[in-house]
Amino acid sequence: MPDRNNLLRVEHLRKVYEATTGDVEAIGDISFTMDAGELVCIVGPSGCGKTTLLKCLAGLLRPTGGVVEMDGSPVTGPSPAMAVVFQEYGRSLYPWLTVRGNVELPLRHKKLSRAERDKLVGDALEAVGLAHAARSHPWQLSGGMQQRVAIARAVAYQPEVLIMDEPFAAVDAQTRADLEDLVRELHRSRRISILFVTHDIDESVYLGQRVLVLSKSPTWVQEDLAIDLPPERDQITTRALPRFTELRTHVYDQIQRAKRGQAVAPQSAR
């Protein structure tokens, strides 16, 4: 279905790494689209090339073949319409800058007045609940708070789509639940489109409106699953719904099949 609303369109994306031992095909053939305002989760077995896919989408890696289109124009490098939240917050935040400085850094080259910039930074820190920590350094904060800073930085950049690469893989379970709710909240209240990469099946079902299940490497999209849970979600009731259990079981089975390599690649996407 050709759709004018497509925000992000990925078609026949392919990525091959050259290595000493021979070429490695990380991504086989990935195609999907994403609409403005959607929250799409991508799950897959470990080592399936999730991070590679994400870097190709964000314009950090040049794909070997295929197209990534943002708002109808091809992505050839990092785009101002995207902001990335990396998994390794400790390495993605600059320890010599304060929390404020980190959030402000990407805004420096945008032609904004001092006041506008301050407003964006303050607003973003407010949104992640860190207004009080603006003058601290990242390393003075807990892991969960550091990742909030990274999210604030991405939000302040005002992207059309927020790309998150396993952002909560390195934080403890309780913090993780809080951060998941923060992502839902940002999505709902600010209408930010979010592409969320994770290896956690529960997380993908809990967060997403859609879940893309990836096959093992060389990767293709094994299933594009709509998550028909109510839009109001919370950690206790939503996760207790029978439908939630069904969905997560389904995704779990898909991943197991992907790991065993049982799923058959489609002859041609679309």
Partner 1 sequence: MRVLTPRRLRAVRKAVLGVVGLAGFLAVWQLIPTLGLINSQYLPYVTDVLARLFEESVDLAFWRRLGTTMTSWAIGLTVATVAAVVLGTVVGLVPVLRRATHTIVEFLRPIPSVALIPLAVLMFGIQRQAALVIIVYASFWQVFVQVIYGVADVDAVARDTARSFGLTRREQLSHLVLPTALPYLMTGLRLAAAVALILAITAEMVIGNPGLGRMIELSRSAGDAVGLYALVVVTGLLGLAVNLVFRFVERRVLSWHQSVRGEEAR
Partner 2 sequence: MTAYTGRLAGPPRARGVGSRIAVSFGYALGLPMLLLVVWGLVATRGTSRFFPGPLTISEAFVDTWVGPAFVADVLPSLYRLGLGITASIVLGIAAGTVIGLVQWLRELLEPLLEFFRAIPPPVLIPVVMLLLGITDTMKVVVIVSGAVWPILLNTIEGVRATDSVMTETADSFRVTWWERLWFLVLPAASPRIMAGVRQALSVALILMVISEMFASSSGLGYRIAYFQRNYLIAEMWSGILLLGLVGVFLAVVFGLVERRVLRWYHGIREVNRA
- Binding interface with partner 1 (CB under 8 A): 18-20
* Secondary structure class of 205 (helix, strand, coil): helix
Cα separations in angstroms, 143 against 33, 167, 170 = 32, 11, 8
User: Does 169 contact partner 2 by CB under 8 A?
Assistant: no
User: Does 137 contact partner 2 by CB under 8 A?
Assistant: yes
User: Does 74 contact partner 2 by CB under 8 A?
Assistant: no
> Shortest gap between Cβ of 89 and partner 1 (angstroms)?
22
Segment interacting with partner 2, rule: CB under 8 A, options 1-9, 18-26, 81-89, 258-266: 81-89
Query: Which option in partner 1, partner 2, none does residue 96 bind, with CB closer than 5 to 8 A by kind?
Result: partner 2
* Secondary structure class of 247 (helix, strand, coil): helix
Query: Which option in partner 1, partner 2, none does residue 88 bind, with CB closer than 5 to 8 A by kind?
Result: partner 2
Among 62, 126, 132, 140, which residue interacts with partner 2 (rule: CB under 8 A)?
140
> Shortest gap between Cβ of 100 and partner 2 (angstroms)?
13
> Shortest gap between Cβ of 19 and partner 1 (angstroms)?
7
For the chain, list the strands marked E by DSSP.
6-17, 24-35, 39-43, 65-70, 73-74, 82-85, 161-165, 193-197, 210-214, 219-226
Q: Which is nearer to partner 2, 127 or 156 (CB)?
A: 156
Among 1, 73, 109, 111, which residue interacts with partner 2 (rule: CB under 8 A)?
109
Among 97, 170, 263, 269, which residue interacts with partner 2 (rule: CB under 8 A)?
97
- Residues 175 and 173: their CA atoms lie apart, in Å, by 6
How many Cα neighbours within 13 Å face the side chain of 191?
3
Return the H-helix or E-strand segment holding 54. helix 50-57
Q: Are 201 and 228 in contact (CB under 8 A)?
A: no
DSSP 101-169: HHHHGGGTTS---HHHHHHHHHHHHHHTT-GGGTTS-GGGS-HHHHHHHHHHHHHHT--SEEEEESTTT
Q: Are 202 and 177 in contact (CB under 8 A)?
A: no
Q: Which is nearer to partner 2, 95 or 261 (CB)?
A: 95
User: Does 164 contact partner 2 by CB under 8 A?
Assistant: no
Among 58, 75, 225, 251, which residue interacts with partner 2 (rule: CB under 8 A)?
58
| Interface contacts to partner 2, rule CB under 8 A | 55, 58-60, 78, 80, 82-84, 86, 88, 91-92, 94-97, 101, 105-106, 108-109, 137, 139-140, 153, 157
